[in-house]
């Protein structure tokens, strides 16, 4: 429970507020475009705080970084709850995003060190899957609270969730420092600059694949509802399709992690992107509920088997000394992809067509599959983690 409980509770907390943020922004006087920008501040806060998050984790350790992230997120949500000014509400959303960066890096760094390499992919896939379950459950808990007590109750659910994550995280045992072999002096302290220099080959090879993967994953969240609207499906039908795809996503994360541990990372990373890429290329050919559902389920399956993939690859290639610095850069690259993917989809939809944007996203997925197939070692990266 101390290992996976914080992820479940943090996911519940974040999932509870995400659907409510744009509604609150509108209530505070924001235009539709401004409300969208306020929602985007959560992602921007995470993106900008990845490197500072690595410094926090290196200085305080993973356990206290998780605790601080939960408290900071709760303060941001409390600001969103009690303020009547749009500017302060936006600041609260930015704080929530900043806490995401610290929490996600600290949990990944902790599990990378605490779990034996032979179980690493299963552990990190489960970690990612548990967070998704929390994100899935959060909106339902918030909906019940909003129905009973009004819109602000969603933020109360969120605060309870992230503070619960901090409380459970405080019970995690501290990690021991990596041992120094007999007859050897302690290695020099790693810095952000030295980490970038020593591991630039990994960042410029597997890291580029991670950027592409993140772009595709983030875009999928917009692709399904937008194409459903294009087909003139009712909002309830679109929500049903999206929910079923999310259900498939959550069912397959553990088996996928087991395959990665036994067969190698490539056996899951490449099929994940191929399935998503082919499904997105075929989506513009769908004409109604049934065909769109098939494409959406394929996207959900492809995304689900890739649960924990980015965290696992980061853990495989990260050094024991200076791991948090490495993972901070790793998560920064992932967030750049996650921000750029939907932006590219939006640009192509505005300048060409929605179908063109979806097709290009599918091609990016296939490019990611090719990059990962080439750069990920054939066997488990924990056994031989050098890229080609």
DSSP letter for 320, please.
S
Q: Which pLDDT score is estimated for 386?
A: 46
Q: Would you say domain 192-375 falls under CATH 3.40.50.12140? A: no
Give the Cα separation of 24 and 5 in Å (integer).
29
Q: How many residues does the chain have?
A: 388
277-317 tens-digit pLDDT: 999 999 999 999 999 999 999 999 999 998 889 989 988 99
* Main-chain phi, psi angles of 94, to 5 degrees: -65, -40
Token pair for residue 105?
Answer: 């890096």
The tokens describing 305, both together, are 């088997």
The candidate with the shortest Cα–Cα distance to 130, out of 157, 92, 104, 98, is 104
Q: Quick check: 2 and 168 in contact, CB under 8 A? A: yes
- The stretch 42-47 carries a mean pLDDT of 89
- What pLDDT is stored for residue 330 in this prediction? 92
Task: Find out whether 76 and 14 touch, Cβ atoms under 8 Å.
Answer: no
For residue 65 the two structure tokens come to 């970084």
Q: What's the mean pLDDT in 244-264?
A: 86
Q: Given pLDDT bands bounded at 50, 70 and 90, which one contains residue 384?
A: very low
Query: How confident is residue 198, by pLDDT bands cut at 50, 70 and 90?
Result: confident
The residue behind tokens 């031989």 is 384
Helix-helix angle 50-60:32-48, to 10 degrees: 40
CATH of the structural domain 5-169, one choice from 3.30.470.30, 3.40.50.300, 1.20.1250.20, 3.40.309.10: 1.20.1250.20
- Contact call for residues 9 and 134 (beta carbons, < 8 A): yes
| CB neighbour class for 362 (10 Å; exposed up to 12, middle 13-18, buried from 19) | buried
- Per residue in 62-102, pLDDT (tens digit) is 889 999 999 999 999 999 999 999 999 999 999 999 999 99
Could you tell me the two tokens for 66? 């998780």
Mean of the per-residue pLDDT values of the chain: 87
CA distance 125 to 18: 23
Bigger pLDDT: 95 or 381?
Answer: 95
pLDDT at 180: 56
- Interior angle at CA 362, CA 329 and CA 135, nearest 5: 60
pLDDT at 381 exceeding the cut of 60: no
CA separation for the pair 123, 234 (Å, rounded): 39
Return the C-alpha torsion angle 353, 356, 360, 365, nearest 10.
Answer: 110
**C-alpha–C-alpha distance, residues 334 and 314, integer Å:** 10
Alpha carbon 379 to its chain centroid, in Å, reads 25
Range(s) for CATH 1.20.1250.20 in the chain?
5-169, 192-375
């Amino acid at each position: 429970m101390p290992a996976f409980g914080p992820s479940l509770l943090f996911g519940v907390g974040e999932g509870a507020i995400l659907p409510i943020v744009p509604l609150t922004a509108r209530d505070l006087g924001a235009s539709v475009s401004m409300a969208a920008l306020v929602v985007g501040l959560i992602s921007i806060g995470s993106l900008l705080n990845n490197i500072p998050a690595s410094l926090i984790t290196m200085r305080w350790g993973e356990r206290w970084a998780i605790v601080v992230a939960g408290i900071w997120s709760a303060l941001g949500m409390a600001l969103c709850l009690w303020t009547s000014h749009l500017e302060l509400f936006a600041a609260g959303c930015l704080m929530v995003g900043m806490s995401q960066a610290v929490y996600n890096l600290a949990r990944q760094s902790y599990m990378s060190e605490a779990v034996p390499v032979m179980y690493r992919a299963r552990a990190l896939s489960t970690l990612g899957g548990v967070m998704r379950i929390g994100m899935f459950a959060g909106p339902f808990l918030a909906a019940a609270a909003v129905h009973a007590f009004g819109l602000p109750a969603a933020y109360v659910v969120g605060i309870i969730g992230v503070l619960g994550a901090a409380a459970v995280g405080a019970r995690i045992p501290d990690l021991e420092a990596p041992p120094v072999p007999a007859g050897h002096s302690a290695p020099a302290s790693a810095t952000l600059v030295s980490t970038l220099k020593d591991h630039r080959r990994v960042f410029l090879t597997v890291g580029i694949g991670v950027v592409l993967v993140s772009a595709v994953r983030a875009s999928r969240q917009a692709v399904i509802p937008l194409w459903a609207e294009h087909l003139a499906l009712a909002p309830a039908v679109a929500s049903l399709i999206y929910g079923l795809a999310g259900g498939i996503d959550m069912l397959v994360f553990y088996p996928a992690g087991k395959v990665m541990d036994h067969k190698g990372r490539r056996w899951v990373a490449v099929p994940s992107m191929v399935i998503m890429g082919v499904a997105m290329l075929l989506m513009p050919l769908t004409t109604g509920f049934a065909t769109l559902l098939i494409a959406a389920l394929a996207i959900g399956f492809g995304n689900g088997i890739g649960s924990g993939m980015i965290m696992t690859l980061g853990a495989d290639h990260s050094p024991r000394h200076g791991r948090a610095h490495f993972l901070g850069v790793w998560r920064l690259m992932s967030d750049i992809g996650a921000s750029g993917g939907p932006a590219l989809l939006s640009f192509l939809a505005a300048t060409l067509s929605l179908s063109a944007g979806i097709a290009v996203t599918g091609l990016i997925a296939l490019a990611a599959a090719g990059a990962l197939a080439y750069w990920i070692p054939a066997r488990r990266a924990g056994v031989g983690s050098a890229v080609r």
